[in-house]
Amino acid sequence: MEITDFPHVIAFLNALSVAFLIAGYVFIRRGDKTRHRAAMIGAVAVSAIFLVFYLYYKAHSGFAKFGGEGLIRPFYFTFLITHIIGATAIAGLVPYTLWRALTGNFEKHRRIARITWPLWVWVGISGVGVYVMTIHLYPYQG
């Protein structure tokens, strides 16, 4: 695998984590705690793999440059900022939320998950959006 393949892998892992998160939500709403737990562990595992790929990619290639011009630029950078702020927040919220579940403190888990889950979904979706915009729609031409 070449370093140029990493953005595609990273976007796939982001999308897969969102699929696990949605499945986990559906399962818990149905009262299926066993499948909810499996889906959420899947989301955490995929996100951990994502983080390894993301950090390696950034350490070896830097940040992608956005090639869009005009009105799309302020839209893109606003979108990117919300993604970065959300990603920073979930870096602490996800382990805390997971810890609350794994230690059996389900009341506190539910309270924090109501914040963590939608933010985590947003970060996953917006991460794919950033990828599509920087790699496919508005690549930097140089």
CATH of the domain at 104: 1.20.120.80
40 found inside a domain: yes
* pLDDT tens-digit readout, 50-59: 999 999 999 9
What mean pLDDT is predicted for residues 80-106? 97
142 found inside a domain: no
Per-residue pLDDT for 127 more than 90? yes
- In one-letter notation, the amino acid at residue 113 is A
- Domain span at residue 91? 3-137
What mean pLDDT is predicted for residues 13-30? 98
Distance CA 123, CA 137 (A): 19
48 found inside a domain: yes
What mean pLDDT is predicted for residues 107-132? 97
50, burial (CB in 10 Å: exposed 0-12, middle 13-18, buried 19+)? buried
106 found inside a domain: yes
34 found inside a domain: yes
Q: Give the total number of structural domains in the chain.
A: 1
112 found inside a domain: yes
